[in-house]
Amino acid sequence: MAISFSKSMIPCIGAALLLACGTNAVAQDMESAADEGADRARNATQITAYASVSGSAQTPLPAPSAKDIDALFKRYDSETTPGCSVAVIQSGKVAFLKSYGMADPALGVPMKSTTSSWIPYSEARVFLAVAIGMLARDQAISLDSTVRRYVPDVPEYARDVTIRNLIHHTSGLADYGVLAGPGFDIRDRLSEDEFFRMLSHWGQLGFEPGKGEMYSNTDYALLKIVVERVSGKSLDGFLRDRLFSPLGMKSTRMGFDQSQVVPNHALFHEFSAGGSRKVLRYRVSPVGGISVTTSLDDLIVWDRALRENQLSIRELLQPLEDGAATAKADDDGTSGFVFGKYRRTHKGIPLIEYRGVGDFNYLVQAPDHDISVATLCNAYDDMWQFGPELVWMFAGSPDSQEGQRSASTDRPIIPPGQPTVTVPASELAALTGDYRAPGIGPVDVSLVDGSLVVTPRGRAAFPALRPIGEGLFETYVEDVQFIVAFKRDGDEVVLSSWDAPTGESGGPDLRLTIPAQLTAADLQPYSGVYVGERVEATLYLRAENERLLLASSGFPEEAITPTANKDELRLPGTYVAKFERNEAGEITGLVLDDSRVKGVRYAKRR
């Protein structure tokens, strides 16, 4: 299978990264006899904990070697790193259960299967979907009724948007985080009143409901509000009464305040060049209430409920999945997103994955093999691969992977599951820009939250690229592993990719376009204050020497990058700003485009 650059993600890497990528930033494995003994004791304790949850003893089943499984979690298997807990359930019984690393590295608290941690926002939407399904089954709502029937605060221009549109991201409603402007962090505080005022001020849909598809946090924020308005309870209270308590999921909460002290709860962490840091800020906004905290033990219970159709969950979710035109696709991380449930094939094995657009893959089921893998880490890195790889390790064989490979190739074949390495942001930033080939493109490569992101112009961004060392990045497109490289051809940067299992080229090489050369005098007219016309945001632009700096509320000054077009500049994240001029050639405003909202106009005031 080949990637077509005009429609698929094109990973990338640069010659300047060769040395940096060769430096393995993964934490060193702890292999002393004392550590091994502690691991064995910890594992025995956790298996006992599972037996008390499941009500049945563990039955030994054929499994890969513990050494092979441990290698998959090597980055987390240290006393100085965040941790992971993992369970492989085979034929209804636990075939493997173990915890790695720390719930709190600073305090020396190890991760356990009883430790609760955070599942991010889009990843946890299946629980909100269950709440919607319960209300529909109770005939308290209709999936094909308009949202305004239950939430009159929804603006009149969205009068035709239905509950089903929200579920499938076919509402056309703008993402409120984008409307807030480049300075808004989606975790910032935002009240419901502000949320509705922001939507009203915007005043338009991106497309007629049901006639398009666009991932938008606004959709699920509204679903949460529907549940609370109709039930008269908080989303957490409703699900605690109707789902969590009946199933015995004692550690699971919705919209949990991470600053609250709760026994056995581990704060989320982010890996950084210096180790890791705690994530102390969480969304205090309408969509923040759909995040979930849970434990591995509770995920095991949740898997059983899904497999055994407890509380008739299957009958609740099926009507919600009906009508999604792309429900079984998974080509760019957004299509195929049906309340956080994806269907795809990994190395020939059909999977059901419970994850989000960010690939925090916490539950994977392989119905044909009666295998499930539950994984809970208190960090994001590598969560995309643990479940699928463990399913394959328990159900597949090395021969099946070798059979996918081409007998002859001049490109290196990189086995999946390589550890992530750390690359300085400055070196990644040098690879960003506008890539094109004759008849193909443009393709934007940008730096978002420390990772390279590829966005074919006019389409949604693809999943972040993952550096794996020795000058390589890895990504997956329609379940196929791709390796991508940057190389220099004289003064030009060339981007290429190939299918890792076969070595087949991912398409023609793309070349980085040379941005417009703007002098200090050229940049000076862009300076000024730009006020949103349909959004409550203000942008401040200032020319300094040969740089143009952008600032806004909560967003410190940062340079914005020229593209090949003089009046088109790339802002931080995935925004592109197109400047407007009057007949005299004076700049009068700018228009921001983003994959989730387009045509956000700002008028220049001075």
Where among 465, 495, 512 does a domain terminate?
Answer: 512
C-alpha triplet 236, 237, 241: angle, nearest 5°? 115
The answer to whether residues 488 and 537 belong to one domain is no
6-20, 111-125, 469-483, 502-516: least confidently modelled range? 6-20
- Give 90's strand partners: 93, 371
pLDDT at 341: 87
Q: For residues 27 and 573, give the distance between their C-alpha atoms in angstroms, rounded to a whole number.
A: 29
CA atoms within 13 A on the CB side of 458: 5
In a domain? residue 456:
yes
pLDDT at 427: 82
The answer to whether residues 508 and 531 belong to one domain is no
7-11, 66-70, 249-253, 453-457: least confidently modelled range? 7-11
With tokens 């299918």, the residue in question is: 499
pLDDT band at residue 164 using 50, 70 and 90 as cut-offs: very high
pLDDT in tens, 255-297: 887 777 889 999 888 887 678 878 766 655 666 678 899 999 9
Residue 105, preceding bond cis, omega within 30 degrees?
A: no
Task: Supply the range of the domain harboring residue 489.
Answer: 15-24+409-512
In a domain? residue 496:
yes
In a domain? residue 574:
yes
The answer to whether residues 569 and 497 belong to one domain is no
Where among 458, 491, 512 does a domain terminate?
Answer: 512
pLDDT at 266: 92
Task: Report whether 191 contacts 522 (CB < 8 A).
Answer: no
* Residue 351 tokens, joined: 């999977």
The answer to whether residues 481 and 527 belong to one domain is no
With tokens 């990843």, the residue in question is: 123
Who's near 348: CB < 8 A, 6+ residues apart?
396, 400
DSSP string, 132-155: HHHHHHTTSS-TTSBGGGT-TTS-
Q: For residues 406 and 344, give the distance between their C-alpha atoms in angstroms, rounded to a whole number.
A: 23
In a domain? residue 536:
yes
**Residue 589: CATH number of its domain:** 2.40.128.50
pLDDT in tens, 399-447: 344 434 333 345 677 777 788 888 887 788 778 887 877 656 678 888 8
CB atoms within 10 A of CB 412: 12
The answer to whether residues 502 and 435 belong to one domain is yes
In a domain? residue 7:
no
Count the domains in the chain: 2
DSSP 8-state symbol, 503: -
pLDDT in tens, 165-202: 999 989 999 988 888 777 666 566 778 888 999 999 99
Task: Report whether 171 contacts 219 (CB < 8 A).
Answer: yes
Three-class secondary structure of residue 259 per DSSP: coil
Three-class secondary structure of residue 176 per DSSP: helix
Q: For residues 354 and 387, give the distance between their C-alpha atoms in angstroms, rounded to a whole number.
A: 10
**Residue 451: CATH number of its domain:** 2.40.128
Where among 468, 486, 512 does a domain terminate?
Answer: 512
In a domain? residue 384:
no
